[in-house]
Structure 1
Amino acid sequence: MTELKSSNPGLVEVWITGIGIATSLGEGLDAHWDALNARRVNVDEQRFAPYIVHPWAPIKLDAQIPKKGDQRQMEAWQRIGTYAAGLALDSAGVKGNPEILGRMDMIIAAGGGERDVPVDLAILNGYVKGNSSPAFLNERLMNDLRPTLFLAQLSNLLAGNIAIVHGVSGSSRTFMGEEAASIDAARIALARIASGQSDIALIGAAHNGERSDLLILYEFGDFNLKDKFAPVWARDKNGGFALGSAGAFLVIESRAHAEARGAKPYARLTKVVSDRAQRKQPGEVTKALERLWSRLGILDDDGNLLTGATGAEPVTSEERAFLNQHPGYAVRATGTMFGHTLETQFPLGLALAALSISRGALFPPNDPTGLEVETSKPPTQIVVVGAGHWRGEGMALVEAVK
C-alpha cells in the first residue's frame, strides 16, 4: 500500500483522534463494538406501524448536557447531536480545554429541524372543518408556537448548542442536503486541515428517526421499509429504509497538532471525494461510484468497505452492482444495524471504520444473502461509501497510521 504523500503530495496528514457515537445500540465505543460483534439490532416494528424505526437507546443526558435548561430548549435531534459531540471531545481528550476548543472548527450536517406535530395537526384539522381564514392562522401562530420552537427548527442550532454546551467556538459551518451534506462536511474539513488552513475540527451530524412527520414525508416517495425488518441486502425491490436515530461526531486534526498535545490516533483520514449523479438513466449511480473509486488512490486488493446503503430502490441495487465489481472486498452495510440516519450515515461510517482499524478487526457480517463475508485479516484500509437515497454520492479512505 502506498504512503499518503504519494497520492496527496504536499498535504498535511490528518488523524482521527476522537469518536463519539450514540445510536440505537447504545453510547460509546465499547458498547458499540460489543453490539456489532454480537450482531445485535434494535428495531421497533410497533410504535409507528407499519413503518419500522431504530430507536435511540436510553441515555442519561446529564452526562454530556448537564443543564436541564439546555436539554429542554433542544429538540431530540439536537440533544442527540450535542451528546454525541461531547463523547467525541471526551474521546479526543479536549473536553473542557478552552484553548483548543476556542479555535476548533466545527462543520455540521443537519436537516431542516423538527416540526411541532400537534400544532400542525390543529391547523390541518381547522382546514378540514373549513376554518382557513387569516385570523385562524394568526391565532394559531400567536397561541400555539412556543418561543423555543424556532430554535428547534433552525438547522445551525445544532452547532449553536454544541458551542453553548461544550465551548467549541472556532469557525462554524452547517450544511444541508441530506446524505450529501455530511459527505461534503467531511470533505471540506479534511481539505482545510490538509492545506494548513486549520489544525483541528469537529465534524458530524445527528438524526432523530422517531418522527411521524418524517415518516409521512418519506412515505410520499415510497422510501419507508414496512411491516417487518430485514437486513439491507435482504430487502426486495420494494424494500425501503428503516429510519434510525443516531449521532456521530469525530475530532480530526493534523498529525503535528495531535503529536504536540500527545494525542493518539484511531486512524488516518486520507481522502474524501463526492459526486452527484443525475440519476436520469439506470446505472448512473454505479458509474458515479466507479468514478469516485478511481479517485481514492492506491487501494488494497483485498480490503474492507463500509457502506451506508439505504435499502431504498433503485439506488441500493445500483450500489450493489458496483460492489459486485469489487468482489475482493469485505463489505458491511451499516444500515442493517443502525437504520438509515440520513445526514449521520456517512460520519457514522467514518467512525466505525476508525474504530475497526483501532481494534485491529472488522466486525462480523450481519447479512443472510452472502454479500457480506467473514474476514480475519486486521484492517489497515477501509473505504467508506455513501449513496444518498435520492441524490449525492461520496467515498472516504480511512487508513491505519504508520
Structure 2
Amino acid sequence: MHRVAVTGVGVKSPAGTTADAAHARLLSGRSTARHLPQLVGAGLKVTFGCPVDFDPDAYFPRHRQRHLDRPTQLACAAADDAVADAGLPHGAERTGVYVGTGGGHTALSAAMGALPLPKVPVATVPMTMPNATAARISIRHGLRGPALTFATACASGAVAIGEAMMAIRYGRIDRAVAGAFDSMLTPFAVTAFSSIGALSRRGEAPELASRPFDDDRDGFVLGEAAAFLVLERLDDARARGAAIYGEVAGYATAADAGHIVKPLEDGAVAAATMRAALDDAGLRPEAIGHVNAHATATQFNDRAEALALARCFPGGTPPVTANKGVTGHLLGAGGAVEAVMALRCAAEGLVPPTANHTAGNPEIDVVHGAPRRIDRAPVLSNSFGFGGHNAGLVLDPL
C-alpha cells in the first residue's frame, strides 16, 4: 500500500478564493453571509447567502464562459490552482480526476427548463451532463486516468477525496485531482431548501444566521464553493521534491439507511463511520488533535453529530470547530473546502472559532469566541448528506 500526500490545493469559497485568504477569514470568526440581489429581486422569504467573490476573466476567455455554468467555472478555477500549486505537468500519466457534487448543474437545468423550447442553447447537453465538470478538468489538464463523478449530497467532497486516496493507496493510479463543487444560490434552489424548513430565517441579521451547535440555531445559510486537492504517492512527492501539505491517512463512508433528509437521531452510524476512518488511518481517538465538524446549524443534524462525536470519543472530545458559521453550507463542496482548511489548521496547530456559537451541546468541546492553540496532530473531518450519507477523512499534517 502507498501513503498518499497532498501536494496542491485550490479554493474558491465565500471565505476567500485562495487557501491563505480562506484560512485567515475562518480564524477571524466573521460570517460571510449577506443579502443577494437575485434573491431579493425574486421576492423570496430567504434573501441571503454566502457567495464567492470570483472573477472568471482570470481563468477563462469571454467566449468560453458562455459554455461554462458558474459551478463549472468555480470548479475548473479551483482545480487549475491546485494543479499549479502542485507543479503537476500537463498530461501527467496515471492521473485521475475525482469530482464530488451535491447539486451538479441543477440551477442551470432549471433555468434551461424555463426557456421556450426554440431558445434552448445548442450547448445545453454538454453543459448540464452530470459528468461535465470532471470532463472539463480532465480536458483542461490532459489527464487520461479515470474521470469520475460522485454524488452523495453534502458528503460528496469527502467521498471524492477518499475514493481518490484509495485508488492511489492500492496502486490503481499514481495521483489525482480530487475535490468538489456546488453553486446553487438561485431563487429556484433557495425556494426548494426553504420549503423543507432547512434554511435560517434570520434575514434581519444574515451575518448572525449560521449558528453551528448553538442552542439558538434555526437552519443553515446556503453558500457556494469549489475546492480541489492534488493527491499523489508520498514517495513520489518526496522524490520530486514537492511541497507536502500533509497526508490523507484515513477514510470511511457508510449509510444511515434511515430517512431521506434526517440523520439517525442517535448518531450511531455517523459514530461508526468516524471510528472506521480512524481505524483506516491506524489511529486511536486520543491521537486526534481536533475535529472539523459537518455542523450545518440545523437542529437535527447538529444534535445527531454531537451525539456521534461523544460516542466516538468516550473519554471526551478533542476541540471541535465548524466552518459553516463563516462560509455557510457549501453542500457537496463543503467536505472538500473543509478538508483543505482542516489540514491547514492541523499543520499550524490553531483551531478556528465556530462563528455565532455561544452555548449548546455540552457533551462536545466546541471552540468559539477565539482561535485555540493545540499541538500539531491529525484532524478528523466529518461530512454528512441527505440520504443518510456519512463520510469521514483523517488528515495528518506529518
Q: TM-score band, normalised by the shorter chain?
A: 0.7 to 0.9
Structure 1 counterpart of 2:206? none
Change (3 A) 1:159 1:225: same
Give the count of matched residue pairs: 368
Structure 2 counterpart of 1:279? 258
Structure 2 counterpart of 1:34? 24
| Pair 1:254 & 2:251 matched | no
1:240-298 Cα deviation digits (max 9, x unpaired) = 22111101111111111212221121111111100101235984551012212322132
Contact 1:52–1:242 (CA under 8 A) maintained in structure 2 = no
Contact 2:13–2:225 (CA under 8 A) maintained in structure 1 = yes
The residue correspondences of 1:17-166 to structure 2 (distance < 5 A) are 17-45=7-35, 47=37, 48=39, 49-51=44-46, 53-63=48-58, 65-94=59-88, 97-100=89-92, 102-110=93-101, 111-113=103-105, 114-115=107-108, 120-121=113-114, 140-141=116-117, 143-166=118-141
Residue number among 276, 292, 297 corresponding to 2:273 in the alignment: 292
Contact 2:100–2:151 (CA under 8 A) maintained in structure 1 = yes
Contact 1:105–1:200 (CA under 8 A) maintained in structure 2 = yes
CA distance in 1 between partners of 2:78 and 2:215 (Å): 30
Contact 1:43–1:52 (CA under 8 A) maintained in structure 2 = no
Residue identity matched to 2:46: Y
Change (3 A) 1:91 1:44: same
Residue number among 349, 355, 360 corresponding to 2:344 in the alignment: 355
CA distance in 2 between partners of 1:260 and 1:99 (Å): 19
Contact 1:353–1:382 (CA under 8 A) maintained in structure 2 = yes
Structure 2 counterpart of 1:127? none
Change (3 A) 1:378 1:87: farther
Structure 2 counterpart of 1:232? 212
CA distance in 1 between partners of 2:346 and 2:85 (Å): 16
Contact 1:41–1:337 (CA under 8 A) maintained in structure 2 = yes
Post-superposition shift, 1:120? 4.3
Contact 2:210–2:328 (CA under 8 A) maintained in structure 1 = no
Post-superposition shift, 1:342? 1.4
CA distance in 2 between partners of 1:189 and 1:354 (Å): 17
1:202-249 Cα deviation digits (max 9, x unpaired) = 111111131111112223322122234132223647x22211110111
1:137-175 Cα deviation digits (max 9, x unpaired) = xxx32x121112333321211112213333333221112
CA distance in 2 between partners of 1:282 and 1:84 (Å): 30
Residue identity matched to 1:303: G
Structure 2 counterpart of 1:7? none
Residue identity matched to 1:243: L
Residue identity matched to 1:344: A
Contact 2:91–2:143 (CA under 8 A) maintained in structure 1 = no
Contact 1:21–1:348 (CA under 8 A) maintained in structure 2 = yes
In the superposition, the TM-score normalised over structure 1's length comes to: 0.84
CA distance in 2 between partners of 1:118 and 1:157 (Å): 17
Structure 1 counterpart of 2:293? 307
Change (3 A) 1:181 1:37: closer
Structure 2 counterpart of 1:364? 353
Structure 1 counterpart of 2:379? 382
CA distance in 2 between partners of 1:197 and 1:151 (Å): 28
Structure 2 counterpart of 1:193? 168
Residue number among 175, 182, 201 corresponding to 2:150 in the alignment: 175
Contact 1:310–1:389 (CA under 8 A) maintained in structure 2 = no
CA distance in 1 between partners of 2:71 and 2:172 (Å): 30
Post-superposition shift, 1:389? 4.0
CA distance in 2 between partners of 1:31 and 1:400 (Å): 19
Give % identity: 21
Structure 2 counterpart of 1:212? 187
CA distance in 1 between partners of 2:373 and 2:358 (Å): 19
Change (3 A) 1:285 1:208: farther
RMSD between superposed Cα atoms in Å: 2.4
Contact 2:12–2:227 (CA under 8 A) maintained in structure 1 = yes
CA distance in 2 between partners of 1:13 and 1:310 (Å): 31
Change (3 A) 1:235 1:45: farther
CA distance in 2 between partners of 1:105 and 1:77 (Å): 20
Larger Rg over CA atoms? 1
SS in 2 for 1:329: coil
Contact 1:234–1:369 (CA under 8 A) maintained in structure 2 = yes
1:44-66 Cα deviation digits (max 9, x unpaired) = 23542532544433223233x23
Post-superposition shift, 1:70? 2.3
Change (3 A) 1:223 1:103: same
In the superposition, the TM-score normalised over structure 2's length comes to: 0.85
